[in-house]
Amino acid sequence: MGFQLYYSNRWVVQNLAIFYRVLRGFARAFLLGKNTLKTIELYPTFDCQSNCLMCSVSKYRKDGVAKLTPADYRSLAKQGADLGAIAISILGGEPLLAEDLEEIVAICKEQRFFVTIVSNALAVSRERIKSLKQAGLDSIYFSVESLDEEINDRIRGVKGHFRKVMDAVDLCKSEGLLVGLAGVIFPGQVERFVELVEYCQAHGLLATGGELAKVGRGEELEIVSAGENARLRSLLQKHKRLTFDWGLSYFLKYRCPAGKEKIGVTCYGDVIGCSLNPLAFGNIKEEPLKKIWERMGLFSQYQKDSLRCLSAGDRDFIEDYLEPVAFWPENPIYFARHPRITPETESALFRQLKD
């Protein structure tokens, strides 16, 4: 959880721009007690060939709304770098379905970001991977839920998905990318994720995961227990190739990074805490990212240090901010529309809107 987790990554110490931003992040944390943006998630499309049981972004499609242009992404990348961000994670939907994906990757590399894609592997081809690597892609993770082919394919909603992932892993390793597997951790099924992590450790792959959150298609599902979360924490000490979003902070402690060290930006420009957190605090087409970032820092839930993912493990957040809008038809939800976020409950947020 300490400095070594940053500096053991060669991409941190070999990229002077990133190295400087990391040092700045630690300085702001320990000298000023301030948050620094570290990671930006991008969702260039919400189209997807999978039909996952727990999809967190199933409500994010907006028919008739213009998507971000290359100029928008270039402005976003510059603003994000100015705020200290070091990494771009490109998610979806399925990012490989975005026709402008290579251009987005190249734009991000202009600002020296470490760029990762998380893919379901269904659209992977050697030609496409070569094209993405040429654009500057650094690493790719493939979503997989179990080493049991039948279980995995049932959860992902696509027969043959597991085999496609395994083939894609070999292909991407042969093209020189850093490759990893990413799983969703279900309650009562933590050992299934442990098996996945151990497989990655044995085969030289990176590993990451996120606990099931009560959003999207997961709204009626249960969350991982505190005991199961403790089991996940123990894995970090044993498996050096494993990372969790909440396990790597400039403050050198476990905490949810949403709205503090991480944001997400949809293909429509909405700025959210992450793909599991459907509250939007502004749109980059309408306001500078810095102003939106500062607004997020005024939200009471982003000011607290939650030891777990807010949307997957903080029961107060789930009950007060997710459940009241659970069955609204569309995400994200602009914070001022949320029934629990009012000028009375979040006065600082609403004052900033008037400035």
| pLDDT tens digits for range 159-218 | 999 999 999 999 999 999 999 999 999 999 999 999 999 999 999 999 999 999 999 999
Helix boundaries (H) for the chain: 3-7, 10-13, 16-27, 70-82, 101-110, 126-135, 149-156, 161-174, 190-202, 226-238, 289-296, 300-303, 310-313, 315-317, 347-354
DSSP at 218: G
- As a whole number of angstroms, the distance between CA 39 and CA 151 comes to 31
| pLDDT on residue 7 | 43
DSSP track, 248-295? --TTSS----BTTTEEEEETT-EEEEETTEEEEEEETTTS-HHHHHHH
| pLDDT on residue 148 | 98
Q: Using a pLDDT cut of 70, give the percent of the chain over it.
A: 96
Section 342-349 average pLDDT: 96
What b/e string do you get for 90-110 counting C-beta neighbours within 10 Å, with b at 16 or more?
bbbbbbbbbebbbebbbbbbe
Number of domains, the chain: 1
Tokens in use for 243? 């990372």
Contact of 248 with 36, CB cutoff 8 Å = no
Phi-psi region of 169 (alpha: psi -120 to 50; beta: other; left: phi over 0): alpha
Contact of 325 with 319, CB cutoff 8 Å = no
| pLDDT on residue 218 | 93
| pLDDT on residue 1 | 42
Residue 5 pLDDT > 80: no
Residue 182, CB-side half-sphere exposure with 13 Å CA sphere: 20
Section 148-156 average pLDDT: 98
**Residue 337 Cα distances to 265, 321, 331, angstroms:** 19, 12, 12
Residue 61 pLDDT > 90: no
Its sign, for the CA torsion 97, 102, 103, 108, is positive
Residue 281 pLDDT > 50: yes
| pLDDT tens digits for range 20-45 | 999 999 999 999 999 999 999 999 99
- As a whole number of angstroms, the distance between CA 15 and CA 264 comes to 23
Burial (0-12, 13-18, 19+ Cβ within 10 Å), 195: middle
Q: How confident is the model at residue 9 (pLDDT cuts 50, 70, 90)?
A: low
Residue 3 pLDDT > 60: no
Tokens in use for 188? 């009562």
Q: How confident is the model at residue 8 (pLDDT cuts 50, 70, 90)?
A: very low
| pLDDT on residue 241 | 86
| pLDDT tens digits for range 65-96 | 999 999 999 999 999 999 999 999 999 999 99
Closest by CA to 209, choosing from 163, 144, 256, 151, is: 144
The domain of 144 spans 3-354
- As a whole number of angstroms, the distance between CA 239 and CA 200 comes to 9
- As a whole number of angstroms, the distance between CA 297 and CA 292 comes to 9
| pLDDT tens digits for range 90-99 | 999 999 999 9
**Residue 22 Cα distances to 19, 146, 179, 297, 306, angstroms:** 5, 34, 23, 20, 22
What b/e string do you get for 277-292 counting C-beta neighbours within 10 Å, with b at 16 or more?
bbbbbbbbeeeebeeb
- As a whole number of angstroms, the distance between CA 321 and CA 318 comes to 6
| pLDDT on residue 13 | 63
- As a whole number of angstroms, the distance between CA 12 and CA 138 comes to 12
Residue 110 pLDDT > 70: yes
Q: Using a pLDDT cut of 90, give the percent of the chain over it.
A: 90
Residue 115 pLDDT > 70: yes
Q: Look up the CATH number of the domain holding residue 97.
A: 3.20.20.70
| pLDDT on residue 10 | 63
Q: Both ends of the chain: CA-CA distance in Å?
A: 38
Query: Hey, what amino acid is at 130?
Result: K
| pLDDT on residue 353 | 86
Contact of 233 with 246, CB cutoff 8 Å = no
Angle between helices 161-174 and 126-135 (to 10 degrees): 50
- As a whole number of angstroms, the distance between CA 23 and CA 59 comes to 38
Diameter over CA atoms, the chain: 56
